[in-house]
Structures are given as C-alpha cells and as structure tokens.
Amino acid sequence: MAEYLSHYGTYWVYPLKYQSGDIAFPEWCSLLTLCLAPLIAHIAAGFPAPSYLSSRPPKWHESIALYNPTSILWRYAAITDRRIRAKAWDRKDMAGTNALFWTSQGWDGSQEMITLSLPHCTHLPQHNRINLFSSEFIKTAIVTLQGVQALVGLGLALGDGKNSKSGFVAYMGVDLIFFPLAFIGLVRLFCAFWLTDDFAYSTSTPQTGLNGSELQAMTTKDCERRISLDSLLHEELSAPIVAEDRFLPTSYWASRAFRAIFLLPTFLLLAICLMFMIQPGGGKQFTLTAFLVALFYFIFLTTTIFICGYYLVRGHTSTILPCLGTRWYEAYTGILVGMILVIFVISCIETRHTACGKWTSAPYSAGDSGACSDGVRPDVIRMDFNQLPDFGLSTTMPRVNADNKTLGDGDFWVRNFTGTCLGTLGSTLMRHVSTLEEVDLNDLAKVTSINDTLQQYLRHPDD
C-alpha cells in the first residue's frame, strides 16, 4: 500500500485523487444537504439577529467573528453563568442577556446593557424562560439530538471500529466533514431554558447612537421616552439598576463550579480528535480530507479551550467574547473560514460512493472496507483486474465482438470485473473446477435452482 501513499512527518496521507465524477446531480443535492446541515443549524441556532444601537452598522469583518464556533460556545457559557448569578431573573434580563448589542464603540454584551438598552426596546419575551412550544425549544431539541448522535457515533467508531453502525466513517466524505460540530448542541443544554430570540431593539429613539458612557448618564425621564408597545405596557420604568445589584459576583460558589465544568465536553471532543490523529505504536493512514478535518478540529478545539478558559478564570461576564473585536481574533476566524472552504473543496473532489451506500474519501483499497465492514456484514472489497487478471464475468454474448471475433463451440468471453464484490476475502470455501457450465439467464427457474444450491452449499460446505 505504501506506493499509494505520501508520507508527511509521522502520518501517511493518500494523495489527492478525483473520485466524484460519477456522482449524479440529485446525489450532490443530498450530499451537500447532509454536509451543510450541522454547520448551518448550530451557527443559526447559536446567535439571534444583532441589535443595532448605532447608526453605523458593523463592517463585514466585525460581524463574521460572531459566528465563529468559539464565540458561540463562549456565549452559552456567559448566559448560563449570568443566570446562575442573577438575584432576580425577569423578562428584561432574558432579552438583554440574549441580545447582541452593536453600539458606536463596538459589540457590547455587558451586564449593564440590560437596563441601559431599555430605551431602545420595542418587544420583550412573554416569559423569563423559553416556552415549551417555542422555536428556541425546537432548535434546542434538534441540535441536542445531533450532538448525541455525533458523540455516540465518534465514540463507537473509536471503540470497536464498527463505524457503519454509528453512521460515522473515519475516511469521511463530504457529508460528514461538519458532523463533529454537532457537539455544540450538547453544550447548549447548559443555558437551554434561557435562550430566546423573542425580543426586539430599535434605534428609533432620541438616544440613537449613544455610546456606553452616555447611556449610563440617562435618567428615569430619559428611559420613559422609549417606544411603548404592548409587550412593555406593564413594565416598571424604574431608574437603571447597577449591575452589581442585579447579579452576584463571579466568586459565587455555583458560578465557580459551573466555570470549572463548562469546558469538559470540549475537552472530551479534543481527546477523541487526538485519538483519531495519534495511533499508538505506529503511523496512521489518512485521506487528505480526513487529515485536514482532524487538523481543523484540533486547531478549533485547542484555541477554544485556551480562550474560553482564560476568560472564565478571570471572571468575565460579557455574553460577547471580550476579544471578539481584536485583530488576532478576526485573523483566527479567517483561518477557520479558509480551512472550511479548503476542506469543502477537497472533500467534494475525493468523495465517492461505496458498495454499502455510504460515502468515503478513501480509494478502493481502503475506503469500502473502512466504511462498510462492521463484523455483521461481509467484508467489502474491490476486485482490481490489474491484481487479479483472471477474475471476471463469463458470457457468450455477443457472439461476434467489435473486432469481428466469433465465439466457437464451448468458447466464452471473460469480462474484467472492476465493480464491488460482497463476500469474505480469504474464505476457505474454495473449489477447483475444470469446466464451466453455461446457464441460460432467461431460464429463471434454473437460475433460482442454482442460487438455492449455492446458498445451501455456503451454509453446509461439508455436505
């Protein structure tokens, strides 16, 4: 197999090979749906639409960092921690905690914005927790099921290699490159009851464009000039409350306990990633798709642990990652986006269909067996006519070929068999034959009888 592999450091990586030429358009539609569903679901569910409190909208590079998976994980941590520390949790807290505020000074997810943003609030949630029949509950249920599927699938694939049962293929095709991202759905459970997008903030007030210091100077009279819609008619218009009066400090024991355990799912996924990348006692074979996918998740998970761990230890409370507006974090986001695009293109090139219906990026020498063999189904191999030149399908049709060669009595053609064979390679059920019986395929009864005899022989080879 070594001649088919390129060696990079301690890893063996199959060279890039175009294998997707036979995929039909309907299959491409299905593949791309499976590919993009986890990515879109978890990013779309991770953030609501931003609330603009400034006349200047954010630039594209200031917005794209919001949808970095690291930003989503931090937001879940900050919302959960804020709910734990809340002395009294109401609808204003829920809306202000979930909102992504854009001010003239950039993104602001501080605790003070809960009350400072009230003059711009035009709609509040109906309750201080999600409704059982709300869209947020449905989102949480969907992404949680995806997260459980991802975690179980990855674990089973590592445990005994029966990855076809779990739906995960180590030599994954384009359909599974974002599959591990579904673990975000499990982290979402920490704050599932307090996630909502049922709120609205508007800049249509006299205070449009105020920065943080100007908002803090607002009086009760200023607050009363907000837009008053039905959802706000019965809200108290008291003076802004200092954040320290609404929330317990981060030294609160429950907050400390949560901050200590929040990153455990991320550590678990990183451990699984390392187990895929490192094989004790030797090298490991990768397709280029699988290698880049493993590298992507290693970079993302390691960076997430360092960034979120740093801010959790230091007691930051903003629901927007404190470093989100920095150049280096924007560069990190750009690296992840670039890797996603590269992985997507390469996986589209390498993906092919296996005999058992799964998709893989590996060549025939490894892909079918790795994707389909699970100890229950027979082994799946590809018969390569260059290695097995005498193996083929015999036929007497046509009697005359394109070169005007005519079959004589007892002659037959042997066509190279280059498809996929389901069976057990190396089986002891081998017989030597000196003649080949011709069978008329139109005689269905005879064919059925032969098939029954063959099945009986396979079940009882000694009879």
130 part of a folded domain: yes
Lowest mean pLDDT of 141-145, 244-248, 277-281, 335-339, name the range: 277-281
C-alpha–C-alpha distance, residues 243 and 78, integer Å: 15
Q: What per-residue confidence (pLDDT) applies to 242?
A: 47
Lowest mean pLDDT of 60-74, 135-149, 164-178, 219-233, name the range: 219-233
pLDDT in tens, 415-436: 665 555 555 545 444 444 444 4
Query: Are 210 and 112 a contacting pair, CB within 8 Å?
Result: no
> Of 333, 353, 373, at which residue does a domain stop?
353
Clarify whether residues 345 and 437 are in a common domain. no
Question: 51 Cβ partners below 8 Å, 6+ apart?
Answer: 99, 100, 101, 102, 117, 120, 200, 201
Clarify whether residues 291 and 163 are in a common domain. yes
Query: Rounded to an integer, what is the distance from CA 303 to the centroid of its chain?
Result: 17
Higher pLDDT, 277 or 88: 88
181 part of a folded domain: yes
Question: 222 Cβ partners below 8 Å, 6+ apart?
Answer: 119, 207
Identify the top-confidence range among 95-99, 120-124, 171-175, 368-372. 95-99
1 part of a folded domain: no
CB neighbourhood size of 411 (10 A): 10
Clarify whether residues 306 and 413 are in a common domain. no
Q: What per-residue confidence (pLDDT) applies to 365?
A: 62
Look at residue 205 and tell me whether its pLDDT is greater than 60: no
**Residue-number span of the structural domain to which 431 is assigned:** 383-459
Label residue 169 by pLDDT band (50, 70, 90): confident
Label residue 444 by pLDDT band (50, 70, 90): very low
The percentage of the chain sitting over the pLDDT mark of 90, rounded to a whole number, equals 28
Clarify whether residues 121 and 233 are in a common domain. yes
Label residue 286 by pLDDT band (50, 70, 90): confident
Look at residue 449 and tell me whether its pLDDT is greater than 80: no
Clarify whether residues 335 and 431 are in a common domain. no
162 part of a folded domain: yes
Tell me which residue of 37, 54, 175 sits closest to 117, measured CA to CA: 54
C-alpha–C-alpha distance, residues 185 and 45, integer Å: 9
Q: What is the DSSP letter of 177?
A: T
358 part of a folded domain: no
| Residues composing the chain | 463
Look at residue 302 and tell me whether its pLDDT is greater than 90: yes
3-state DSSP call for residue 216? Answer: helix
On average, the pLDDT of the chain sits at: 75
Look at residue 456 and tell me whether its pLDDT is greater than 70: no
Mean pLDDT for the stretch of residues 36-59 = 84
442 part of a folded domain: yes
24 part of a folded domain: yes
Q: What per-residue confidence (pLDDT) applies to 248?
A: 92
Clarify whether residues 303 and 405 are in a common domain. no
Clarify whether residues 255 and 196 are in a common domain. yes
Q: What per-residue confidence (pLDDT) applies to 452?
A: 53
Q: Please give, one letter per residue, the 3-state secondary structure of 16-54.
A: CCCCCCCCCHHHHHHHHHHHHHHHHHHHHHHCCCCEECC
Clarify whether residues 146 and 108 are in a common domain. yes
Tell me which residue of 294, 291, 297, 238 sits closest to 266, measured CA to CA: 297
Look at residue 463 and tell me whether its pLDDT is greater than 90: no
Clarify whether residues 343 and 397 are in a common domain. no
Clarify whether residues 281 and 389 are in a common domain. no
Look at residue 453 and tell me whether its pLDDT is greater than 80: no
Buried b / exposed e along 111-150 (16+ C-beta atoms within 10 A): bbbbbbbbbbbbbbbeebbbeeebebbebbebbbebbebb
Query: Are 283 and 9 a contacting pair, CB within 8 Å?
Result: no
Count the domains in the chain.
2
Q: What per-residue confidence (pLDDT) applies to 342?
A: 95
367 part of a folded domain: no
> Parallel, antiparallel, or unpaired: how do β-strands 380-382 and 420-422 relate?
antiparallel
The sign of the dihedral angle between the CA atoms of 194, 199, 203, 208 is: negative
